[in-house]
Amino acid sequence: MKVYRVRSIDSLGRALAIMLGLTGAFNLVNGLTNLAYWRSNRFVLPLGEESVFASTVPQGAFPQAVSTIGGFVAIATIVVWMIWQHHATANLWARGFQSLQITPGWSVGWWFVPFANLVMPYVAVREVDRRSRTDGQFRTDTGPVGWWWAAFLVSVFLPFVSFFFAFGSQIDRFGDAVRTSAPSIDLTIQMRQIAAVQAFAGVLSAVAAALAILVVQRITRHQEDVVRAPMPVRPDLGW
């Protein structure tokens, strides 16, 4: 049996809350700037060797910078979240709490398992939230964990769903354009529809980030009580 040690996650929790706030802000700004750009331009898909794109205004440096910097901040946030969640889960195991379902390793690993990562990361975070008590007993109140997970999933999948429905309905148009040797097909309406949905997803992503901050602060606060509590006697582990 692997032995874990109790450690404070206060500094990690503070850093993670700031990074989540930045990620939410970047996602919000990125969604709104993309909406403004896509709604003010035409988007034409060329069909054939001699077709050309319709003239559109290139996207400015600011939206590109927001997207690039936001991407790096999001990656860094994911890394810090994984470390924070691993340490928080390890603290429960280090205290010797009974009936824990998720190990520290799998609290991170479940994020990378296809399909299971739609449910199990939520289960892992919920367990940490519910068991972060000095006595290790279940807390009936799960706070904003469920709302955070719902907002997060919708914000992630909504753009893909909008893309599927916007272009899935255009299959006949593509076929007709190919059969008639049309030089291009105008997808401006579809792109603007997607832009509106992605802007909403950006807003929802910011909401999910705000809820995630509440989850992190709540768990971190309760974990500090766990860290400061006297260690129980564990004869089975030799201490």
Q: Is residue 178 part of a domain?
A: yes
- The sign one gets for the Cα dihedral 174, 178, 180, 186 is positive
Q: Is residue 4 part of a domain?
A: no
Q: Is residue 3 part of a domain?
A: no
* E strand or H helix at 185: strand 184-186
Look at residue 192 in the predicted model and tell me its pLDDT.
82
Look at residue 163 in the predicted model and tell me its pLDDT.
79
* E strand or H helix at 23: helix 10-39
- Cα 22 to Cα 14, 54, 55, 72: the distances in Å are 13, 36, 34, 11
Look at residue 1 in the predicted model and tell me its pLDDT.
60
Residues in the chain, how many?
239
Q: At what angle do helices 120-131 and 145-168 cross, to 10 degrees?
A: 170
Q: Is residue 1 part of a domain?
A: no
Look at residue 235 in the predicted model and tell me its pLDDT.
46
Average pLDDT along the chain, 239 residues, taken 10 residues at a time: 85 97 94 83 69 55 87 96 97 91 96 96 96 84 90 93 77 71 75 86 95 97 88 51
Q: Which residues contact 64 (CB under 8 A, 6 or more apart)?
A: none
Distance CA 35, CA 37 (A): 5
Q: Count up the domains in the chain and report the number.
A: 1
Q: Is residue 188 part of a domain?
A: yes
18 close to 209: Cβ distance less than 8 angstroms? no
Q: What is the extent of the structural domain holding 112?
A: 10-232
27 close to 209: Cβ distance less than 8 angstroms? yes
Q: Is residue 221 part of a domain?
A: yes
Q: Is residue 138 part of a domain?
A: yes
Distance CA 152, CA 173 (A): 34
Distance CA 68, CA 66 (A): 6
